[in-house]
Amino acid sequence: MHTRTLGQGLEVSAIGLGCMGMSQSYGPNPGDRNDMIEVIRYAVDEAGVTFFDTAEVYGPYVNEELVGEALAPLRDQVVIATKFGWNIADGKMIGTDSRPEQIKRVADASLQRLRTDVIDLFYQHRVDPAVPIEDVAGAVAELVQAGKVRHFGLSEAGPETIRRAHAVFPVTALQSEYSLWTRDPEPEVLPTCAELGIGFVPFSPLGKGFLTGTVAAATTFSANDIRATIPRFAAENISGNEALVAYIRNLAAARNSTPGQIALAWLLAQQPWIVPIPGTRRRGRIDENSDATQVALSADDLADLDGLAARIGVQGDRYNPAGMAMVGL
């Protein structure tokens, strides 16, 4: 696995691992926690993954504990990113909370759960309309000065918010959804990152599984699968979006690769400071995703893929209305 550099010189593996699905959001959670610990360690030892993404709200809390236990023996080899910004009560999110005192409380609790003395990358998980972003950046700057955090990140923030935060304390990475069927960051966010020297970390780079070709109109999602609440995964929208995957599947066959590898290779080709974080629970997928760095797409391939969503169309929003209201602030 080769490496890439996000903002402020933070070097990570070209493809990271999003760990959320090991604790929530994609149907029944794994029955054996030790299996997930082994998958995380396999990603480091066998695939060369050095960039791991978690958050206090995943579980909540249990995903940080899982990642912390898994990576404790490998701590000096990896970069751990986690997130703050929610008010969590009785195991549920009940709104945003990025007050400086809350950020500092979360940092201390996350350090304990992650079994580390420093958080490599600390993201604001969602912009808090009630707290000026300057106050958020200032609080993280104090944590950096105290040696508890190394780098500051934002998630799903808009260009103005990014600029205001960066003016107070340098932003290392912006994390947002970005893939062949979610192109929202392209008009404004990616150019802002390029101008300011901020890395970009796409989550859901495989379209929450859709771009791997493993989801069909007949697929049913359990009540605890986040896709059951996402309009894009309604049966009628899946049917409308299948042409997108069919094109990717055909290109994958021609390039002796998988649809997921094509989707990741396309992202990697966009900019050298883009680092996708696909999630998985399986060693085989770790290998498949990591091998996407070896997939060579021609200029014609990239041009065809660039216009794919516009030509074919993408049906359904990527979040329900409440979720959509919290992005791009």
Residue 117 tokens, joined: 């003395």
Helices (H), the chain: 33-45, 62-71, 100-114, 133-145, 159-168, 189-196, 235-254, 259-270, 283-290, 299-306, 308-312, 321-324
Distance CA 261, CA 206 (A): 9
Structural contact between residues 284 and 210, judged by C-beta atoms closer than 8 angstroms? no
Backbone angles phi, psi at 219, to 5 degrees: -65, 135
Residue 119 tokens, joined: 């958080």
Q: At what angle do helices 33-45 and 62-71 cross, to 10 degrees?
A: 50
Other CB atoms within 10 Å distance of the CB of residue 14: 21
- Give the SS3 label for residue 214: coil
Q: 303: burial class by Cβ within 10 Å (0-12, 13-18, 19+)?
A: exposed
Beta bridge partners of 52: 17, 80
User: Pairing relation of β-strands 11-13 and 3-5?
Assistant: antiparallel
* Nearest to 80, CA basis, from 102, 59, 63: 63
What amino acid occupies position 175?
Q
Whether 61 is catalytic is: no
User: Pairing relation of β-strands 171-177 and 149-155?
Assistant: parallel
Residue 73 tokens, joined: 């023996």
The residue annotated as part of the active site, out of 26, 58, 123, 247, is: 58
Cis peptide before 278 (omega within 30 of 0): no
* Nearest to 270, CA basis, from 157, 174, 194, 163: 194
Q: Give CA angle at 176 (23, 141), nearest 5°.
A: 90
Give the catalytic positions in this structure.
58
